[in-house]
Structure 1
Amino acid sequence: MKSFEEKLKNFAKELFEANAIKFGEYKTKIGVMTPVYCDLRVIVSYPKLMDTLADLLIVKVEKMNVELLCGVPYTALPIATAVSLKLLKPMVMRRKEAKDYGTKKLIEGIFTAGQTCLIVEDVVTSGSSILETAKDLNGVGIKCTDAIVLLNREQGGEHFLMKNGIKMHSLLTLTQMVGYLREFGCVDDAVVEQVKSYLANTQIDEVSLNETITKDRLGLSFLDRAKYAKNPVSQELFKIMSSKQTTLCVAADLTNSTDILNLAERVGPHICALKTHIDIVEDFHPNMLGPLQEIANRHNFILFEDRKFCDIGKTVEYQYSKGGGCISSWANLVTAHSLLGKGVLDAIKGSEGLQKRGVFLLAETSAAGSLITESYVKSTLEMAEEYSDLVAGIVCQSPLFLKNPGLIQLTPGVRIDIKKDDLGQQYNSPASIVLERGADIAVVGRGITLAKDPEVAAAAYKKLLWDAYLQRIKE
């Protein structure tokens, strides 16, 4: 009969053969290059591998005094489920964000205050996801003192968790994993040394990590959040917003090029971005783009084309970089839907044009009767994390990604004087859009473009929005 270690060694090899462990050059979620990438999501496609994993975890779990299991969303959920079914121990599920309908629960399942819960995770680098899960569980009275993980990447997460009151138990460390794979001849000595050097030079920064865990993005200043942004345009936006003390984006939904240039000149000192729909400009000519860029550079704001790309990759590539509008040559920011998948972002990322570019992914809309579902929102947020070097932020109406301070929430539908128009557009006040809905950048259109004096209106919106932001980060 095989010993536990022999089973563990074979499991490591099976992970490698399933392409769950990859060697090469990869960028992690936090923007650091790594010679080894752990894509444990593929395990769900290998029932026997999942069964083996559950058996290995149970050897450790059976020694613990726990009453509940909770998988860190979302990759660890099937792992926790497999263990729960074998041990006949109940589970609870933590949502990444609470529903805005029904019970609005963050923790789903049957439990009583005071029960102990074992947190299940796939891979640990910093341990922040486990702490976030523990925080939400503690918030409903569930006690969390232990976590079990498939793979400890040995970059400081275990120590960090211990300092925050959680003991981490792991099946494998990265050193063990690579050592076992070396024994099987899956990797050579050069890879082993490369991983060893990587681990020695990429330990987590506990000071910065503590800041993001104890405070979500709504409590952090824009300058603090700029440190976590992976996209160069979002980094620049955070700095512009801080230096100009503005979170205002004006929607220049005008059909005349001269009107757009005049508006940009007048509101330029008060905005961080100017949003256009270049395809509605009736007298459009590429000659307008040079003056528009000059105004943006002089007044220090970002040009933002609200194209909402949603097509097959090759078509998006042409829409973005070809044609009369040639968007990639002048707009640092664009919008896109995630509906057609990753090909849209791959096309934007690989197209010719400005080197500094960013995308706002549409997750929610201010239009009444939208068909956007909770599942669509979840998938959009996952795509944003995967493409963190390209995605500058999310277009949404609620604070969806509190624990990702590097992303920017862009929220349209802001107006002081009315609540809705006759075509389904719904409006919110500047204060509510920032304090209740979580907006970082607020989009104002007709409230400024139809004003008697757009410059005066822009200044008024700027102040109201900035005052709300200052109130938010003080709370």
Structure 2
Amino acid sequence: MCSAREHHPAFKASFAERARNTSHPLANYLLRLMDLKKSNLCLSADVTSARELVTLADRMGPSIVVLKTHHDLVAGWDFHPQTGTGAKLGVLARKHGFLIFEDRKFGDIGSTVQLQYTAGSARIIDWAHIVNVNMVPGKAAVSALHESAKRWRSRVNYEVKTSVSVGTPTSDSFDENGEESDEGPFSNSSLAPRDRPSSSGFRPDYNGRKGSIVSITTLTQSFEPVDSPRFSGTINEGDELLYAGIEEPPWDRGLLILAQMSSEGNFMTKEYTDACVEAAREHKDFVMGFISQESLNSQPDDSFISMTPGCQLPPDGEGEEDGEVEGDGLGQQYNTPAKLVGLCGSDIIIVGRGILKAASPPVEAERYRRKAWKAYLQRTGQEI
């Protein structure tokens, strides 16, 4: 394992340099966020209640750049688009500076994965910046998801708003010749006490001119911003903060292709992995990288991000932090940040139980962040 493609420019390049050479909007944003927060840590938030998930995201947000979710294992997930669980995670993502990655592993025919991505009660595309695909069905699954994302992107910013107003002008709004006065038919000053609406309509102006009864209906249509996955103006707007030093994430969505796995005895052969890379190159404006055990950049213009699960550190103070780590007995094999980032060229480590089961998860998250960042700095030859 770990061919360590150290001869590829991305292996030694800093995240800031790679951001400047990356055309994918979301990948560009993530690389700049990593450089800003000095973090290349993704938390695998494998918890089973919505309350615990939201609390965890808030506590771990300062240390991570990606929050990985499995919405279908969370009891009590609220699907409301503006106030539900996805919306709450969106607010925290803005506050702490991280992206949301729904680990859905789409793996069906094209029309099915499109519906799973954009429809149903979850509407994953609305709140998850990143999703992934298991390419066992072939390249068609990637193409179908890409098509759905483009359609969503083209119409998500705006929708047509229709406004209808109906009113009856008063007699004071017309001059002696029946022309409309400068104050206009709906000016507050035209509604003198004797002309204000009563329960049965406008009171006639018995002391003035005879008013003409005119009904005016105004229909206007305009394109206005709709509620976005950034959830602006939804949950306690005054409490929403934007992480300092960087703008909001772009509207563009990103796909990770499941190219390699850390589980023992998996069937992802070299031929399968090569096909994943080929599909990524064919959809560079949607595929931002891979779930893999190493960097898969090989051609000069490759700029994909590699995110790697199966990362664990020995307990603090016990053994070498760069050494081997035992598996979980259920097929999961573990590697340290030093090996995955420093030797194999992975960009982001994905950690779940190693943090969640710690006595103090926030403290442990910081330990993983420091070790993974140190491995990145050493790989790229930067000063520590």
TM-score (norm 2): 0.66
Structure 1 residues 228 and 430, CA gap change in structure 2 (3 angstroms): same
Aligned pair partner of 1:300 in 94, 97, 104: 97
Alpha-carbon separation, structure 1, partners of 2:54 and 2:87 = 10
How far 1:348 moved relative to its partner?
1.9
1:399 alignment partner AA: S
Structure 1 residues 421 and 329, CA gap change in structure 2 (3 angstroms): same
The residue number in structure 1 matching 2:116 is 319
The residue number in structure 2 matching 1:473 is 380
Q: After superposition, what is the alpha-carbon deviation per residue over 1:405-462, rounded to whole angstroms, capped at 9, x for unaligned?
A: 5210111111113421121111111111111221101000011111121111111110
1:251 aligned onto 2:73: no
SS in 2 for 1:361: strand
Alpha-carbon separation, structure 1, partners of 2:100 and 2:71 = 11
Aligned pair partner of 1:436 in 330, 334, 343: 343
1:412 aligned onto 2:309: yes
Once the two structures are superposed, the pairs formed by residues 27-426 of structure 1 within 5 Å of their partners are 100=1, 216-286=9-79, 287-351=84-148, 352=152, 355-402=251-298, 403-404=300-301, 406-417=303-314, 418-426=325-333
| Percent of pairs with identical residues | 37
Alpha-carbon separation, structure 2, partners of 1:404 and 1:439 = 17
Alpha-carbon separation, structure 2, partners of 1:250 and 1:410 = 11
The residue number in structure 2 matching 1:86 is none
SS in 2 for 1:218: helix
Q: Give yes or no for contact 1:285–1:324 (8 Å, CA) kept in 2.
A: no
Structure 1 residues 222 and 256, CA gap change in structure 2 (3 angstroms): same
SS in 2 for 1:371: coil
Q: Give yes or no for contact 1:317–1:348 (8 Å, CA) kept in 2.
A: yes
Return 5+ residue gaps in structure 1 as ranges: 1-99, 107-135, 137-212
How far 1:316 moved relative to its partner?
0.4
Structure 1 residues 409 and 214, CA gap change in structure 2 (3 angstroms): closer
Structure 1 residues 266 and 404, CA gap change in structure 2 (3 angstroms): farther
Q: After superposition, what is the alpha-carbon deviation per residue over 1:75-107, rounded to whole angstroms, capped at 9, x for unaligned?
A: xxxxxxxxxxxxxxxxxxxxxxxxx59xx8x9x
Q: Give yes or no for contact 1:314–1:347 (8 Å, CA) kept in 2.
A: yes
SS in 2 for 1:375: helix
Higher helix proportion (structure 1 or 2): 1
Alpha-carbon separation, structure 1, partners of 2:7 and 2:267 = 35
Query: RMSD over aligned Cα, in angstroms?
Result: 2.1
Q: After superposition, what is the alpha-carbon deviation per residue over 1:98-130, rounded to whole angstroms, capped at 9, x for unaligned?
A: xx59xx8x9xxxxxxxxxxxxxxxxxxxxxxxx
Structure 1 residues 317 and 252, CA gap change in structure 2 (3 angstroms): same
Alpha-carbon separation, structure 2, partners of 1:214 and 1:333 = 28
How far 1:268 moved relative to its partner?
0.3
SS in 2 for 1:376: helix
Structure 1 residues 264 and 219, CA gap change in structure 2 (3 angstroms): same
Q: Give yes or no for contact 2:296–2:304 (8 Å, CA) kept in 1.
A: no
Once the two structures are superposed, the pairs formed by residues 431-470 of structure 1 within 5 Å of their partners are 431-470=338-377
Q: Give yes or no for contact 1:247–1:465 (8 Å, CA) kept in 2.
A: yes
Q: Give yes or no for contact 2:146–2:283 (8 Å, CA) kept in 1.
A: no
Q: After superposition, what is the alpha-carbon deviation per residue over 1:332-370, rounded to whole angstroms, capped at 9, x for unaligned?
A: 100112222232222222223664100010110001000
Q: After superposition, what is the alpha-carbon deviation per residue over 1:134-162, rounded to whole angstroms, capped at 9, x for unaligned?
A: xx9xxxxxxxxxxxxxxxxxxxxxxxxxx
Alpha-carbon separation, structure 2, partners of 1:315 and 1:340 = 11
1:310 alignment partner AA: G
The alignment of Structure 1 onto Structure 2 pairs a total of residues equal to 268
Return 5+ residue gaps in structure 2 as ranges: 157-228, 230-250, 315-324
Alpha-carbon separation, structure 1, partners of 2:301 and 2:346 = 14
How far 1:215 moved relative to its partner?
5.5
1:229 alignment partner AA: T
Alpha-carbon separation, structure 2, partners of 1:222 and 1:434 = 13
Alpha-carbon separation, structure 1, partners of 2:332 and 2:104 = 18
Q: Give yes or no for contact 1:415–1:428 (8 Å, CA) kept in 2.
A: yes
Larger radius of gyration: 2
SS in 2 for 1:439: coil
Alpha-carbon separation, structure 1, partners of 2:76 and 2:357 = 20
SS in 1 for 2:350: strand
Q: After superposition, what is the alpha-carbon deviation per residue over 1:189-227, rounded to whole angstroms, capped at 9, x for unaligned?
A: xxxxxxxxxxxxxxxxxxxxxxxx975211000011112
Once the two structures are superposed, the pairs formed by residues 9-28 of structure 1 within 5 Å of their partners are none
Alpha-carbon separation, structure 2, partners of 1:323 and 1:448 = 32
SS in 1 for 2:104: strand
Structure 1's consecutive aligned runs of 4 or more residues displaced over 3 angstroms after TM superposition are: 402-405
